[in-house]
Structure 1
Amino acid sequence: MSSSILLLSFTTTIIGKPPDTTASKKEWRGIPTRLNNIPHSREIRKYFYDDVIQATKRAIEDKKTRLQIDINIPELNPEMDVYRIGTLMELVRDLSLTFADDGKRVKVCVQGSMGQGAFAGIPLQLAGTRKILEFMDWGDYGAMGAFINIGAVGASEVDKEDDMFVLIAPQNAVGNCIIDDMRAMTDAAGDRPVILVNPRLKDMPASSGVMQTMGRDVRLQYAASFETCYSFRLLFYAGTFYPIMGALRMAYPNKYEIFRRVDEPNGEKYDLLAEFTGNPTADDITNAFVGPKKKKENALSGFWGFLSGIL
């Protein structure tokens, strides 16, 4: 990826679709361009922070209490070598301060060490996260310690004065499952909002290398109980991270939208291809790009086969 920094622009073309009258869409400026330039500019980061915050606020205003944020721009995708923990911390800080400004007491939670003996430790993505939070600038108005506190994941971290909880990238590790601690925490929180930011709750192998099958359905059901209020990811050809083919976005209460990235003489733009009420599958995304008929016609030749892996 290029390391140059370019000016931020926003371009989205919606073809054959009447203007949406909802306030959330009126305020949206379109998908930022130049997302393949790393590091991201401050303007791009701020755009996404604001996009996440507005969607989350709308969900909270609608009395949603179990929420999930999934945002995988390059700097927030742990699968990419440009992953930047500082971007995740900035997002969590801006989100927490927004609710603190409204008088809410927010507890920001990072899971602690899990396991025993040789298998004790913190997932690599979260190593050092709590220290970073403690040393960050939380503003000039004394929010830290008054309206914002830092804690771990578990029932014992739920205090009666807490109004809401933000969990940073809770995730299972080999031989250890964070879901039991999360369930205990949400039970203790009751009807107070719990927001997961970029969770990774798929089942992991036990320390013996065997998948943890006991209680697996219950764990997956619990993980699925969190409603996504914001989702954004770039779309690539299977097995690659370049070039960007498009994007998938959902900001509560709107639908999931698939966009195609289009190069233009003076830049690029994103065209809306399709909308879905639920998170589209890989086949849904493929059909949006090439159409179900064309996909079927080319299935035997394998020409379009790689598109089914767009993720």
Structure 2
Amino acid sequence: MLPAASLSCLQSTNINIHPTPPSLSSTLSSSSSSYQPSSSSLHNRRLVSFTTTIHGNTPLTPTTTTKPKGHSHRVVCASTNEPLKVMISGAPASGKGTQCEFIVQKFGLLHISTGDLLRAEVSAGTEIGNKAKEFMNAGQLVPDEIVTAMVTTRLSREDAKEKGWLLDGYPRSFAQAQSLEKLKIRPDVYVVLEVPDEILIDRCVGRRLDPVTRKIYHVKSFPPETEEIKARLVTRPDDTEEKVKSRLEIYKQNAKAISSTYSNIMKKIDGNRQKDMVFKDIESLLSQTQKDKMKSMELAGKPVLESDNRSNWPSSSKDNWIGIPTRLNNIPHSREIRNYFYDDVLQATQRAVNDGRSRLKVEINIPELNPEMDVYRIGTLMELVRVIALSFADDGKRVKVCVQGSMGEGALAGMPLQLAGTRKILEFMDWGDYGAKDTFIKIGSIGGKEVEEQDDLFILVAPQNAVGNCIIDDLRAMTESAGKRPVILINPKLKDLPGSSGVMQTMGRNKRLEYAASFESCYFFRLLYYMGTQYPIMGALRMTYPYGCELYKRVDEPSGKEKYVILSTFPERPNIDEINDAFEGKPGDQAKKASGFWAFLSGVF
């Protein structure tokens, strides 16, 4: 097996694809060579090396493609000059976060949250972000004009214009609403989720936790089965009536301030029902709004094209996905590319957790998230972790973000270079305006002692073995203490490494590998290259829960642009021969199937 080389950070170039494509390699690179191979030198080159994490992995999905529960068919809006535009409002615990996810999955709208925008602008160091940071550092609220500038800038981008948008959490004041009106930014419909205050308060205050089984009860709607269980139930520290009421008052003030601006397009939805029933009404409302909009455009003499400009949506994926971003060799990645992958990972992870999966891993190897490359960016990894943690925190879960500490003793003490300083970054990074950190999100280490009763979910940042030290024991202790609570590994590296004496860690090796393989992939993405080259990108392999793997080929277009087209789908993660056969146009049944437990392990590690 060839060692991993490094990826060039050069701009992508147009290379003609031959009728019978050569074979590929997913070998990733890490140097900054400027060599650009010609198409002739690449022709007929056969892949002889492929990153082992691709081979033979048993997927989470059954062999036939399944559909998300309750939301099996995506509504493809007609391509018009004015796509669907939606605003949504709802009090804390109203279920707004869940409904936003359903809307995005069903209608393909761009979900825009002001909190996410603010963090992104500050992190990217934009002019608007720097201005906002000055106020934040001074402990002041960010002025309306800055927030409005961020929102309008985001709404003016091409993806928002093409897909339509779902604006969540904005506007929050009359001045903000009027600013949008002056700029002629107005939604087609303003959705308001209505839940009685007493229900909202009761949902939070009445919750009880069984510290033994981790089961959530409610003193009224879901009481414990026995007196023994009832005696040991505890109340979470944040589930107090005072705190809930305070948040409700703030929401009511904001909602009242903007209601006059959108009164003629306001649609109230009863949120005091099962989430699927709530979404059924929202789906009907938005579908009718889209039809009415198309009809009004036809009457106005504007053409309505019954086509979908997102031609590279894979048929097997019904999630909010518009195709692989282009120019992935351009370093640093653009904010749009980063946000695309953050959202892609988040949706897959949420679906897996909602389906009850508790041992999950995310494997994403774009250049900025590949530590073997000189363009690796720790900030991108931290942003990905923050997006996932904040999303689950918004749903009321207590999230613990964990980074492994120093391992070993004496001369062997230390941690992998990739993780150096990550604990400090997590402690000091921006976790939003509402005090999520230290309430719903806490920072910890990897180990059984880090698991506390109030924790609902654990995110482990790039856990990995180091020479002479193994993280598996600490990881196993943590998952055993966590029980059925979800544990999510972000870009783990759990293969065995040489011990301090220079020999492999043979004691218990099989058990370690078996334990590491018990984590199921909820997201996988890897770029593919010609074997032995670092340029250009030839394709990609992508898997998102609960779907199978999809193989894509990068194609140059006459205009100088590029796109990714799907070549094949696989119920399992394909091996190297299957990928080569797909690129060479051979029938799928000629591919050699991996089999056996050790074939699976060799593919993962």
Q: TM-score, normalised by structure 2?
A: 0.46
Residue type at the aligned position of 2:384? L
> C-alpha offsets along residues 93-115 of structure 1, whole Å, 9 cap, x if unaligned?
00000000000000000000001
Gaps of 5+ in 1: 297-311
Residue type at the aligned position of 2:574? P
Which structure 1 residue ranges, 4+ long, deviate > 4 Å from structure 2?
7-15
Q: Does 1:34 align with 2:327?
A: yes
Note the 1:1-311 alignment, pairs <5 A.
1-2=9-10, 19-20=315-316, 23-24=318-319, 27-266=320-559, 267-292=561-586
Q: Higher relative contact order by CA 8 Å / sep ≥ 6: 1 or 2?
A: 2
Task: Supply the distance in 2 between the matched residues of 1:12 and 1:290 (Cα, whole angstroms).
Answer: 26
User: 1:309 maps to what in 2?
Assistant: none
Q: Contact 1:64/1:193 (CA < 8 Å) preserved in 2? A: yes
Task: Supply the distance in 1 between the matched residues of 2:526 and 2:391 (Cα, whole angstroms).
Answer: 24
Q: Contact 1:12/1:270 (CA < 8 Å) preserved in 2? A: no
Structure with higher strand content: 1
Residue type at the aligned position of 1:281? N
- Given the superposition, is the C-alpha separation of residues 125 and 147 from structure 1 closer, same or farther in structure 2, using an over 3 Å criterion? same
Task: Supply the distance in 2 between the matched residues of 1:3 and 1:32 (Cα, whole angstroms).
Answer: 14
> C-alpha offsets along residues 79-137 of structure 1, whole Å, 9 cap, x if unaligned?
11100000000000000000000000000000000011111101000000000111100
Q: Name the larger-Rg structure.
A: 2
> C-alpha offsets along residues 232-282 of structure 1, whole Å, 9 cap, x if unaligned?
010012233321010000011111111000011220011111111222112
Q: Contact 1:172/1:204 (CA < 8 Å) preserved in 2? A: yes
Q: Contact 1:8/1:34 (CA < 8 Å) preserved in 2? A: no
- Given the superposition, is the C-alpha separation of residues 154 and 8 from structure 1 closer, same or farther in structure 2, using an over 3 Å criterion? farther
Number of aligned positions between the proteins? 287
| 3-state DSSP of counterpart to 1:64 | coil
Q: Contact 1:68/1:196 (CA < 8 Å) preserved in 2? A: yes
Q: Kindly state the Cα deviation for residue 2 of structure 1 after the two structures are TM-superposed.
A: 2.9
Task: Supply the distance in 2 between the matched residues of 1:3 and 1:273 (Cα, whole angstroms).
Answer: 24
Residue type at the aligned position of 2:365? N
Q: Contact 2:312/2:323 (CA < 8 Å) preserved in 1? A: no
| 3-state DSSP of counterpart to 2:393 | helix
Task: Supply the distance in 2 between the matched residues of 1:283 and 1:92 (Cα, whole angstroms).
Answer: 34
* Larger deviation, residues 233-242 vs 42-51: 233-242
Q: Contact 2:312/2:322 (CA < 8 Å) preserved in 1? A: no
Q: Contact 1:245/1:261 (CA < 8 Å) preserved in 2? A: yes
Q: TM-score, normalised by structure 1?
A: 0.88
What percentage of residue pairs aligned between the two structures are identical?
Answer: 68
Residue type at the aligned position of 1:268? E
Task: Supply the distance in 2 between the matched residues of 1:53 and 1:37 (Cα, whole angstroms).
Answer: 23
Q: Kindly state the Cα deviation for residue 12 of structure 1 after the two structures are TM-superposed.
A: 7.1
Q: Contact 2:496/2:505 (CA < 8 Å) preserved in 1? A: yes
Task: Supply the distance in 2 between the matched residues of 1:93 and 1:64 (Cα, whole angstroms).
Answer: 21
Structure with higher helix content: 2
Residue type at the aligned position of 1:154? G
Q: Contact 1:12/1:31 (CA < 8 Å) preserved in 2? A: no
- Given the superposition, is the C-alpha separation of residues 201 and 120 from structure 1 closer, same or farther in structure 2, using an over 3 Å criterion? same
Task: Supply the distance in 2 between the matched residues of 1:235 and 1:254 (Cα, whole angstroms).
Answer: 20
Task: Supply the distance in 1 between the matched residues of 2:532 and 2:408 (Cα, whole angstroms).
Answer: 32
| 3-state DSSP of counterpart to 2:537 | coil
| 3-state DSSP of counterpart to 2:351 | helix
| 3-state DSSP of counterpart to 1:245 | strand
Q: Kindly state the Cα deviation for residue 30 of structure 1 after the two structures are TM-superposed.
A: 0.6
Q: Contact 2:11/2:327 (CA < 8 Å) preserved in 1? A: no
Task: Supply the distance in 2 between the matched residues of 1:36 and 1:12 (Cα, whole angstroms).
Answer: 22
Residue type at the aligned position of 1:112? G
